[in-house]
Structure formats: structure tokens, C-alpha cells
Amino acid sequence: MRRVAVFSAVVMGVVLLLVVGQGIALYMSDPATRLIRDRIQYVDAAALVEGELLHCPDLVTKFYSEGGYRPVWSSEKFVTPKAEAFLTVLRGADDEGLNPEDYHLAKIESLIRQWRNGDRQVDKRVNLDLLLTDTFIAFGRHVRNGRVDPRTVYPDWYNFPRRENGDGEIIDALKQDELGKALKVIQPTDSGYEKLREAFLRYRSIEERGGWPSVPGGPKLKAGDRDDRILLLWKRLFLSGDLGDGAEGGNLFDEKLERALRLFQSRHGLIADGVLGASTVEELNIPVKKRVRQLRLNLERMRWLPRALGDRYIFVNLADFSLEVVEKDKTVMAMRIIVGRDEDDQRTFVFTGNVTYLEINPFWNVPESIAVNEIIPKLKDDPHYLSSRGIRIIDGWSEPAKEVDPESIDWESLDPGQFRYRLRQDPGSRNPLGRVKFMFPNEFSIYLHDTPDRQLFERARRTFSHGCIRIEKPLDLAVYLLKGYSDWKREDILRAIASRQRQVITLPEPVPIYIFYLTAWVDRGGLVHFCRDVYSGDRILEQAMNYRPGRRAQLPGRAKFSG
């Protein structure tokens, strides 16, 4: 046994020496490998290569450490085809709505020119390799996850999961010899993103060809009218694709032009009445340059969405005041919604959740801000305000809590800042939550609900709530969510509503809900839509997208990689 142990130790020693010897031989065979290893140990958040600040120094270090410090974009004799192919991709970064100059492009091209002109110093080669690696990781992160973290620019975006980080997958992709295989890892697979990207390229092409004409203002025009402005309207709608074949009808506003104008209006969040009025003219005259900008910004937002939203989910677009239910990538239900006012404390937050239950004939627990700022002042003028609206006073927010007689409270001397009661409105026709509410528990107390104010759905701009989302078709949504639940058909829900009794129904399985914000998107029929930036999110995002960290001078004590 002792001989066997000794023999095994000798064999292991020989194997180790062979492995170490091969590593040393490989290490010594290419001086670039040695130089990369020496430099990597100094990489930190302020590392510079050829005067360029690295985007992802931590991942650059990880990649080379795991790969034995070998260069991956060049050999001693040539720049690899993979590098040439990636440079072509990088030059086309603007096709993704990204800026190629954000990715060391000028410096990389300069180093490659020097290489081709015979300047093949090892430090130049190493710098080229480091910059290409850093660029691939940064570009991969941005295409896959978004260039901007929404939580750094939007205070009302909470708990919104960006696409899974995937740094490990990006590192693995970088190890692929073929760029095509590597790019598959970082490219979004979402069909909505690809459609929006195609729209972005199409509108950018319109901009490059000179854009579209303006349509002068004036009296309203409708089908049957004749006017010199109509010829410009024909041209404008043809260029944006609303007219189809684009056959012009001169100065006559005919039925074909009316259909095209209705399509344009529906795509731009307007009331589709087919009449050329002031609001439609305003929308027609928005320059194509601004539309290209909108598309670019919303490509970025689309990159924030998870890669897989699920087989069945609810998608709310706050900017468009719309909700759709999607099942297996098909819209099975759509409706108008009302969202929070454009005020700092009343906007509807952007976040995700899971709808787990619904309430029929819900109580409305009046938010404290509404109770103090809106209801108490009315009580001082009308002592019967509460009873006439079925609002009860509860002694606190805990359960159970006792009901309080409103006449026992001295409303005149009550300090609103010390208000400790809960106001709860009974179910009924005047209850702001209507007959059904849909719950996806969250820290913001936001939910979907019915509303008695049905007339507000006819407005084009629907920012009327205190933050919750009022929906146009609550009964239809309830029937859909309870589909397959044998105890709850449409007639059962109607019967429960008629009882005026509060009832909680747990869904058979949770349904994901995404509350999002898009000012440009492509629907499942291929139509490009635009809407107003009701929460001023585009302006904020554009500032973040245009920010470029400047090149830094050498910092004391920091590593500087340069030739």
C-alpha cells in the first residue's frame, strides 16, 4: 500500500509539472498574455486605457482572469475576424437607439488603423483587446438590460425588475469564437422590441429624406369638404403610412382620406372622429425628428422589461391610458383606463405585481390625505355629508376597530394633523371603487377598480385618480380572471353584485400585472402608436441617455493604460 501511495504521489507530481509547464509555456509564448496579466491587477473603477475610462472594469478583470489572460481579439499577426465583425455591429449601434461613440469606437478604430499600418507594439495590441472586451460587455449589457437604470432617473418607478442581469452569460458569450453565437445572448428576443426597432429605422429613414410637410391650421375640415390644405394632408398621411397606396385626391376630403385620418388619430391617442381639428393638426405637425426621438427612448424602456412576461398577464400603459390582457402573445381583452393626476404625490407608480384576488362590492377605505384635505372641510359645512354618502367613521386602521358616532366628534375644533380615524364608505352606487376591485398587494395601496364616473372614459387625457387605476370593463375582466372557476360565471358575479354584500374571491392562480410607461410602441397588428408624455418621463430619460462620462485626465494613484 505504501508503494502505491508513493507511486500515486509521483504521478500526480508529474501531471502537475506538465500542467504548470504548459501554462508557463503558453504564458511565455505570447507577450500580450503576460502584459494583460500584469495590467489587470491594477484595474479599478478609474482605470484608463488609451485615455478611455473603462465601462465595466470588474467584468473585464473577471473575463481575463478566467481565460488565462489571453487576448481574444487579436494574435501577433492579425486582428481576428470576430473583431472586424463586432466593429461593424458597433458602428450600427444607433440602429438600436444607442450612440456608437459611447463604446470607445473612435479609439478602437484608431488602434486598428495603426495595426494595419504596421504599428504592432504589444502594448497597443493589449489596449485594443482591453477596449474591445470592455465594449462588448458594456454594449451587451445595454442592449440586453438597457443603458439607463430606471430607478436612478424616475422616483416613481419601484420594484420593477429589469431584464435579468445576465453578466455571466455575457462573459460566456464573449468566449465564443463566432460573433453570431455571441450576439444571440445579448440580443432581445421580444417581438415587441423588434417591431419597435423596425419602426425606429423606418421613421429615421423618413427623417433622412426630409420629413413630412406641415398642415396649416384653420377651420375644421371633414369628409366632403374642399380646401387647399387637403393636398398637404394627403401627402402627410401618405408619408406616415396611414394612406396605404397613397393615391392622392387633390383638394377633396373624401372617404379614403377620412379613413386614413381616423387611423392616424387612433394611433396618436386622439378621438378618432375623422375631423381635421386643432388637436389633430397639432399632432400632424409634430416633426418626424421628435417621433424618432420618442421611438429611441421607448426602445430603451422596452429593454427594461423582463425577457419573458409570461403566458398570461395584464399590461397597463399609463401614458396611453390603456390596459390589455395578453394570453400566449395575443391580446384577448383591451380597455381604457384612468390613472393618477400629474402631480408628485398622485401619479400612478410603475411597478409589477400579481393579481391574487378580487372584491365584489368593496368598501372604500378613504386615504388619509383625501379624508383630511377633501372630506373634513366639507363636513364643517354639511354635518350630514358622511351619512348621505354611506361613509362611516372607524376608530383606527386596525382590525377589528369600532365604529364611531360622527356626532361625538367636534369637527369645528378638530386638528386635521391629529386625525386618527378611518373613513370607510359602504358599497353602493356612490362608492368611488364601483362594484369590483382587483387586488395585487403592494406597498403603494394601488389597485384596479370600477368607477361610477363612466363619462370620464370618453376624455382623451385621463389623469383623474389619486393613484389607483380605474378600468372601463371591470365585469369583463372579472369574468376572464375567474374563467375555469366553476362557482363564478358572469351571472354569478352579477348576482353577487346585486346582493350589495362585500365578498372576496381568490383567483385560481395569480396573474402577473405590469404597470408600465410607453409613449411609443407597436401593437400586435403592426401599427405604430404615439401618445403624449403625460408624466414628462421622456424629457428625463433623454437627459440620462445623452449623458456621457467624459474622458478623465490621469488620477493620482490610479492605473493608466496607454501606449
Mind giving me the DSSP string for 21-62? HHHHHHHHH-HHHHHHHHHHTT--TT-EETTEEPS-HHHHHH
53, β-bridge pairs? 48
pLDDT greater at residue 117 or residue 379: 117
Q: Quick one: pLDDT at residue 47? A: 79
C-alpha grid cell, residue 73 = 481579439
- Confidence at 550, pLDDT banded by 50, 70, 90: very low
Measure the CA–CA gap between 282 and 265, rounded to whole angstroms.
11
pLDDT at 556 over 90: no
Per DSSP, the three-state class of 226 is strand
Position 358 scores a pLDDT of 96
C-alpha cell at 52: 478611455
pLDDT band at 456 (very low <50, low <70, confident <90, very high): very high
**Residue 192 contacts by C-beta under 8 Å, 6 or more apart in sequence?**
302, 521, 522
C-alpha cell read off for 71: 487576448
Written as one letter, the residue type at 76 is E
Give the pLDDT of residue 560.
36
* pTM of the full structure: 0.86
Report residue 45 as a C-alpha cell.
Answer: 473603477
Whole-number percent of the chain with pLDDT over 70: 89
Distance CA 382, CA 374 (A): 13
**What pLDDT, on a 0 to 100 scale, did the predictor assign at position 485?**
76
User: Quick one: average pLDDT of 390-406?
Assistant: 81
Please enumerate in sequence order all residues whose Cβ is within 8 A of that of 473, keeping only pairs 6 or more positions apart, or say none: 333, 335
Q: 78-96: per-residue pLDDT in tens?
A: 888 899 999 999 999 999 9
Cβ-based burial of 278 (10 A; exposed 0-12, middle 13-18, buried ≥19):
exposed
- Measured between alpha carbons, how far is 178 from 297 in angstroms, rounded to an integer? 31
Mean pLDDT of 324-341: 95
Name all domains of the chain by residue range, CATH numbers in brackets.
2-187+554-561 (no CATH), 212-286 (1.10.101.10), 311-362+431-532 (2.40.440.10), 364-426 (no CATH)
Q: Is the pLDDT of residue 9 over 70?
A: no
**Which of the pair, 435 or 174, is modelled with greater confidence?**
435
Q: Measured at the alpha carbon of residue 529, what is the angle toward residues 524 and 533, in degrees to the nearest 5?
A: 135
Tell me the angle at which helices 31-40 and 122-145 cross, rounded to the nearest 10 degrees: 60
What mean pLDDT is reported for the chain? 86
151 pLDDT above the threshold of 70: yes
Catalytic residues, by residue number, are: 449, 468
Of 31-35, 215-219, 359-363, the poorest mean pLDDT is in 31-35
pLDDT digits (tens, 9 = 90+) for 301-310: 999 988 788 8
CA distances, 244 to each of 89, 104, 248, 259, 270 (Å)? 33, 42, 11, 11, 20
Of residues 510 and 178, the one with the higher pLDDT is 510
Q: Per mean pLDDT, which range of 4-8, 52-56, 395-399 is the poorest?
A: 4-8
Residue 514: count of CB within 10 angstroms of its CB = 20
Question: Taking residues 237-261, what's their average pLDDT?
Answer: 87
